[in-house]
Amino acid sequence: MSIRVNFCIQLRDGSGNVVQEDEIQNNFEFYAPVLHDMHVNHSLEGCVTIQSPSQDEINIWDDLWVIVQNLFFYSIVDLLNQDKSCFLYSYLSQYAHLVLVPSSYDIYIFGDDRDNVPPTSFNKTELLLAFYHCGQRYLDLLRRLKNVSESGPTFVPPHLEIEAEKAQKALEAHNLL
C-alpha cells in the first residue's frame, strides 16, 4: 500500500514535542505512565499524518479519539456503505473543518487548516483501508495502556469499539479486508 496513515501524540512535558506511534511502540514501557496519565486527565491530543509518495503530506491536529471515531471509522461507513457525496469532519479542539469528497476511485481532501492540509487526493480504497488500520493501532495502544494500572476500566471506550466494528464490516462488504 502506497498510502501511509500514522498518528503521533502531543506531549505535555513543556517541550512542545510530539511522539510518533512507532516510537511509542518501540519504547512502550518508557511512555506508558505518561500516556496513561494524559489519557485519564487530559485526553490524548496529537496529529494524524497522511503520506503518499506522489502527494503533499496532510497533518490533522486534534483530539485523537475524535479523529479515530469520526474521520476514520465514520468516513469509511459513510463513503462506502452510504455512498455519500462528501464527508465533513469537524475538529474538536479548534473551529475548523475537513472535507472528504469521493470520486470513482479517489478521495479529494481539503480543509480550513490550509497550512497543514493542502488540497490533495488519494486512492479511495487505499486511504480508507489505511484509516482503518491506523484507528485499530490507536485502539491497540489504549488497550495496552489499560493494563498500566487498575484505573480506567473504559480505557477503550465502547463507542469506539462499536464504530470500529461498523467500519470493519463496511470494508469487508466491499472486499477490502
Partner 1 sequence: MSFVPIAGELLDLLTLFTDPTIWGKAMSLIGLVASLLSDGAEILTAVGIVVPPALAALPAAVGAEAVDVGAAILKNVRRLVSADVFGIIKNIPFDEALQLGGDVLGQLAKRAVTEIGGASNWPGSIDEVFSLIQNVLGSVWEPFVALVKHYGTAGLGKLFTLGFGEGGFLAGRVLRQGGEFNDVDKVVEGVAEIGDDLLAEGAADLSDDATKFLGEMVDDAGKNNTRVLLEGITCPAGITQVTYRKMLGLASPLFATAADRCLEALANITPGNAQDGFKKLMGTTEADAQEALKVWNKYQSHPARDHLFEVLNEISTLNKAEFAKRLELVGGIDKTDTLKKLWNLIPPEQPHRLNKLVDYVKGVPNPGDMFDFLADFALSLERKPVPLLSSLPQPSNLYSRFSYARMDHFLEGHTYKYLRPDQRLNKPTTLWPKTITPEEINRYLQQTLDDLAAKGDLPDLANPRKKTVVFGVEVQIGIENDGAGGVRIGQFFPIRDITGKTTLTKIEAVQMKAIWEIFK
| HSE-CB of 80 using CA atoms within 13 angstroms | 26
Nearer to partner 1, 117 or 171 (CB): 117
Nearer to partner 1, 69 or 121 (CB): 69
Q: Which of 40, 88, 99, 101 binds partner 1 (CB under 8 A)?
A: 40
Q: Which of 20, 59, 81, 168 binds partner 1 (CB under 8 A)?
A: 59
93 binds partner 1 (CB under 8 A): yes
113 binds partner 1 (CB under 8 A): yes
Q: Which of 29, 54, 95, 103 binds partner 1 (CB under 8 A)?
A: 95
Q: Residue 10 CB, nearest distance to partner 1 (Å)?
A: 7
Q: What are phi and psi of 116, to 5 degrees?
A: -100, -15
Nearer to partner 1, 63 or 106 (CB): 63
Q: Which stretch binds partner 1 (CB under 8 A): 20-28, 34-42, 76-84, 132-140?
A: 34-42
**Cα(128)–Cα(147) distance, rounded to whole angstroms?**
30
Q: Residue 18 CB, nearest distance to partner 1 (Å)?
A: 9
Q: Residue 125 CB, nearest distance to partner 1 (Å)?
A: 26
Total residues interacting with partner 1, rule: CB under 8 A? 35
Which three cell numbers mark 4? 501511509
**Cα(8)–Cα(143) distance, rounded to whole angstroms?**
17
Pairing of strands 106-111, 120-123: antiparallel
153 binds partner 1 (CB under 8 A): yes
Classified as helix, coil or strand, 67 is helix
**Cα(52)–Cα(2) distance, rounded to whole angstroms?**
6
Which three cell numbers mark 21? 506511534
> 82 to each of 43, 74, 141, how far by Cα in Å?
31, 11, 30
